[in-house]
Amino acid sequence: MKGQTAELSKYFASYHRWECPEARTSSTHCQIFGTKDGPLLRKGQTNRVLFYAGCFNPPHIGHLSFLQRAFGGTHDINVIAAVILPLDSHSLRSKRRVNGQDLILSKPDRVRLWRSDARMLPEWWVYDGTVDEWDIMRDKVEEAIERDGFDFQFVVMSGPDHISRFRTYSGWSWSCFETVTSDAGRHSDLVKPDGNSKEKLKKTKSKPRTQKKKSRDRKNARRLAKNPLQVLKVKVCRLKWSKLWVRFVPADGEPLDISSTQIRDIMEGGKLSLDELHERLKGMALSPEVLTEIFARQSSRDVSRNWL
């Protein structure tokens, strides 16, 4: 229906400050999402977009698994897209001083590793600007969307390293009051070894993702009895008298305990040839062939510096 929907990408493209040659020759501006017909905003609902910020030095399949589960486990609340924000390089440099590691991938390289991976969905956009530029653009995008009569909300993704039984989580992160967490990327202490949620989430509202309508409950029950792995319960914890909530979306298999630190240790170990490194990175890093190429280029540059 005319006026009841709008393309989300147009709002991002209008305020994205990059030099895009296509913008000079095409009325479609820069393509933000991976499809011609991208995510649509709809009136009469709260349109949500996941926001996933991190160092991603480098991005790995744990990050991807978290994003896949978060995106798949939020369609019922009208999540239509996701924005991925690799943090600025100075954030990584300060982290390196603490951990004593040398390998830092540039922001363009980390953006490229995300974008090059074949498992990326067309509804996901990797933002390549700075954090400050994102903050400015986000404000403008939200204002424009609201001005056009659409209800819109960003939902921040936060992993088990930020949300756990033994840490206080305010519920407010990256100017978002709605949060999605999961054990898909790494183990979470919110989940018992048997796969059930711990005491902290017992009082939250549980929603089986496979439940559609009451008339289909019995059919679903028979199907789930045959395949218990499909019983994937989403838990939502709400703070009374507030809009704040945290949604826990469980992994659909064994959590992937892979870390960027682990990958950097392998790359910096100096024991593998480039071919061996490429093989080792498969099943761990996003775009392993691109990451191997980046590391080879960076290593050659470091060797050249040592000869100066």
The percent of residues above 70 in pLDDT, for the chain, comes to: 75
Secondary element (H or E) of residue 86 = strand 79-86
Which residues in 109-137 are b (16+ Cβ under 10 Å) and which e? bbbbbbbebeebeebbbbbbbbeebbeeb
pLDDT band of residue 98 (cuts 50, 70, 90) is low
Q: Pick 285 or 211 by higher pLDDT.
A: 285
User: Which pLDDT band, with edges at 50, 70 and 90, does 302 fall under?
Assistant: low
**Separation CA 145–CA 114 (nearest Å):** 27
Of the two residues 209 and 127, the one the predictor is more confident about is: 127
Q: Is the pLDDT of residue 272 over 50?
A: yes
Q: Tell me the per-residue pLDDT of 194-206, one tens digit each, with 9 for 90 and over.
A: 556 554 544 344 4
With beta carbons less than 8 A apart as the criterion, state whether 73 and 181 touch. Answer: no
CA distance to 118, 201, 258, 293, per residue, from 126 (Å) = 14, 32, 21, 20
Structure tokens at 271: 């024991």
Taking Cα atoms as reference points, which of 229, 131, 240 lies closest to residue 175?
131
Among the listed ranges 4-8, 170-174, 176-180, which one has the minimum average pLDDT value? Answer: 170-174
Tokens of 286: 């996003």
Q: Residue 179 in contact with residue 237, Cβ under 8 Å?
A: no
List, for residues 102-122, the tens digit of each pLDDT value: 789 999 999 999 999 999 999
228 alpha carbon, distance to own chain's centre = 27
Mean pLDDT computed over 130-147: 97
Q: Which residue has the higher pLDDT, 163 or 288?
A: 288
Closest CA to 129 of 247, 43, 18: 18
Give the whole-angstrom CA distance, residue 203 versus residue 210.
21
**pLDDT at residue 244 above 80?**
yes
